[in-house]
Amino acid sequence: MVKPTDPRSVWGKVLLSLRKNGIINVHSICVEVSDIVLNNNDFIINIHKSINYETLKKPQNLSQLLDTFKNLGYNYNVILAFAPEREIKVDKAKVLSELLGCEVQKI
């Protein structure tokens, strides 16, 4: 089987298979994941929520995910990566000062 080069196509088929096969706990986590990368033979799943990452990496859940890839004929190295989203710090007083055109003090 020729491997697809579009990670979204692969991921969509994985999600459909998880749902179709009643693997709801894994599906409910994976459906939230949109940050995926296909790099050579590595299928990298970047998970931004720690609770989702911890749940998905549990042996039973990870096994179900890997089996889904295998059953669909995808022989990728599936890699789970925890990639927390960076929190952007906003200086609210500065933003308000710029919007209002006057000095706003922090309280």
Q: What is the mean pLDDT of each run of 10 residues along the chain (107 residues)?
A: 76 96 96 93 94 96 97 95 74 73 72
CB 65 within 8 A of CB 26: yes
**Whole-prediction pTM:** 0.75
The answer to whether residue 17 sits within a structural domain is yes
The answer to whether residue 95 sits within a structural domain is no
The Cα–Cα gap between 78 and 65 comes to: 9
- What value does the CA radius of gyration of the chain take, rounded to a whole number of Å? 20
User: What pLDDT is stored for residue 83 in this prediction?
Assistant: 87
The answer to whether residue 102 sits within a structural domain is no
The answer to whether residue 90 sits within a structural domain is no
Domain count, the chain: 1
The two counts, helices (H) then strands (E), for the chain are: 5, 3
User: What pLDDT is stored for residue 101 in this prediction?
Assistant: 77
SS (H, E, C) 28-59: HHHCCCCCEEEECCEEEEEECCHHHHHHHCCH
Instruction: Find the domain containing 31 and state its range.
Output: 7-82
Q: What is the CATH number of the domain that holds 77?
A: 3.30.300
CB 24 within 8 A of CB 68: no
User: What pLDDT is stored for residue 2 in this prediction?
Assistant: 52
The answer to whether residue 51 sits within a structural domain is yes
The answer to whether residue 75 sits within a structural domain is yes
Q: Residues for the chain: how many in total?
A: 107
The answer to whether residue 62 sits within a structural domain is yes
User: What pLDDT is stored for residue 100 in this prediction?
Assistant: 73
